[in-house]
Amino acid sequence: MGMPSMMDRIAAGSKPGPKKTAAAGGRKRPSPNTGQARRASSGSLIARAGGESASAVPQHQAAGPTRRPDCAYETAATFVRALLAALVFAAPAMVLILGGLTVKDPALWTHLAAGRALAEEAAPATVGAEGWLFSAAVFKIYAVLGLRGLVAAALLISLATTAAVFTLFRRLNPHFAVSVLLSAAVVTVAWRYLGASVHLLTLGLVATELNILWAARTGHNKPLLALPLLFALWSNLSFHFVLGIGILCFAVIESIHDRVCRNREWFVERNGFRSSWIIPAFLVSVAATLATPLGTALYPAVKLRMFEAFAASGSVWTGAPEFRSVFDWLVLTLGIGGAYGLGKRGELRPFNLLLLVGAAFASFHAVRESWCLALVGGALIADSGLYFVKPRFGAPVVVRTARAVALASVFVTGAWLYAETAEADLEAGIAMDFPSSAAVAVEKTGYRGTVTASEQWAGFLTWRLDGVDVESGSEDATKAVAAATLVVAEKNGALGNALRGQRRLRKVFEDDRSLVYALR
């Protein structure tokens, strides 16, 4: 007797088989009416929305609008971001050229005078090794291209520095708006306090070093191989290379901290520096700084220079910030933001903490070093994961095109501004800020002794009065007279007002800008 067929069982009204429950390991089968109900419901909704039957409207067309408007928005947003980046890069160039900051920087004339001495003596160690390479380059550019060449060189330095700062913030925070705003803030502070001197180049070198070190914290250690070359160049450009050595010390301290505390119960393994990489990089970098004309005498000279800087705490650039300008408050805001970034991450890493403390110490001791706190505070803000809107980018072709447009805009703007700069306009700007007429008057007298001038004018007079020993004088008239037999002072400045009451002096020159006094 055979088993009944399926058709016989259906005809007899019996069920197809025993129902398997979930407990028995079977899977509950949906009711045949469920799919029909869903299709009827979706069809009625589509029919009510579009006036068509469910069978006439495909399901993928009823899902929503196409992405073509989103693509157009992403394309436009990509170009807007590129133009904003171009503005951040071009703004320093516009301020530099339109404001004449290159020729108004007092440090520029000091480097020109040092470069001339280097060209005449061909012995950097006899002139002074601080920034000898930068001084030689500045003088060579001036000898070949004149003042307009110095403007072009300062333009390139500003673009390179801005690129280094923007690249650092872009690495720490992928959100474009954050990177642009922080870069603009740091560059604004830099142009207020650094002008077009070697200090601006130092900002770019510090940003480059931080970029390399943050890459090493995430496991990319090969860029550390570039640090010895960076410090070999840096030590010949400025004594500020000690800032970079200090930052490397902070990285070494964090690597040692992680290695010692690794077996502690409270220690949490995080991204950090590998001691097998960072310590050799530190030692080789320190050795590379000795590749200067001073050799092993470099660090005693640096120590003496630092003591002189600390002793001159009352000068224009080495005093503490007075918080009378918006730039001082911007630096303080970035510093507070960096402290907030440390707390927002929920972890206190030694490298980040030491960076913030060291930058605050340098910035609040010397106003010209305020860029340290601005850069470090901005980096810690970017590293905290702050963002305003989620980034949306267009197609790769659109991104590359937008970058090309931004790059072309920056260079076109720089070329146009450079073409509009005339040598005569630069000379007129120099006469408005420096004692050009007083220098001519001193040259006519044939004076070859010691000249005392204010700190802002000492470098310019050293450049203009070749063969004359120029010293940076005190605001105290008695000390200024004791140091030299000829004094050049600003007419309405503190030194000029103090010299008017000195009976030992006679006035030999006066114009709207300066005064020249000589001993009777």
What is the residue-averaged pLDDT of the chain? 75
pLDDT at 389 (0 to 100): 52
Collapsing DSSP states into helix, strand and coil, what is residue 515? strand
Q: Per-residue pLDDT averaged across 404-426, rounded?
A: 69
pLDDT at 284 (0 to 100): 96
pLDDT in tens, 301-346: 887 777 666 555 444 456 677 788 888 899 999 999 999 988 887 7
Confidence category of residue 102, pLDDT binned at 50, 70, 90: low
pLDDT at 226 (0 to 100): 94
> Under the phi-then-psi rule, with left for phi > 0, alpha for psi from -120 to 50, and beta for the rest, what region is 319?
beta
| Strand partners of residue 506 | 518
Q: Per-residue pLDDT averaged across 68-77, rounded?
A: 60
Report the distance separating Cα 64 and Cα 336, nearest Å: 46
Report the distance separating Cα 207 and Cα 192, nearest Å: 18
**Percentage of the residues of the chain whose pLDDT score is greater than 70:** 65
| 246 contact partners, CB below 8 Å, separation of at least 6 | 358
Closest CA to 192 of 109, 110, 112, 104: 104
What sign results for the dihedral spanned by CA atoms 340, 274, 375, 163? Answer: negative
Closest CA to 116 of 468, 463, 470, 472: 463
Claim: this prediction has a pTM higher than 0.85: no
Collapsing DSSP states into helix, strand and coil, what is residue 51? coil
Report the distance separating Cα 81 and Cα 177, nearest Å: 8
What sign results for the dihedral spanned by CA atoms 145, 148, 150, 152? Answer: negative
Give the HSE-up count for residue 121: Cα atoms under 13 Å, Cβ half-sphere: 14
Report the distance separating Cα 109 and Cα 457, nearest Å: 9
Q: What angle do CA 45, 46, 48 make, to 5 degrees?
A: 65
What sign results for the dihedral spanned by CA atoms 171, 172, 173, 176? Answer: negative
Q: Per-residue pLDDT averaged across 155-177, rounded?
A: 86
Closest CA to 372 of 380, 363, 384: 363
| Strand partners of residue 453 | 472, 488
Highest mean pLDDT out of 105-114, 132-141, 485-494: 132-141
* Element housing 218 (H / E): none
Q: Which amino acid is at 199?
A: H
pLDDT at 473 (0 to 100): 63
**Helices 436-445, 455-464: crossing angle, 10 deg rounding:** 50
Closest CA to 173 of 395, 330, 378, 357: 378
Q: Is 79 exposed, middle or buried (0-12, 13-18, 19+ CB in 10 A)?
A: middle
Contact yes or no for 204/157 (Cβ under 8 A): yes
Per the model's pLDDT, the better-predicted residue between 360 and 387 turns out to be 360
* Element housing 131 (H / E): none
Report the distance separating Cα 515 and Cα 495, nearest Å: 10
| 432 contact partners, CB below 8 Å, separation of at least 6 | 513
Confidence category of residue 401, pLDDT binned at 50, 70, 90: low
Q: What angle do CA 250, 254, 258 make, to 5 degrees?
A: 170
Q: Where are the beta strands (DSSP E) in 47-170?
A: none
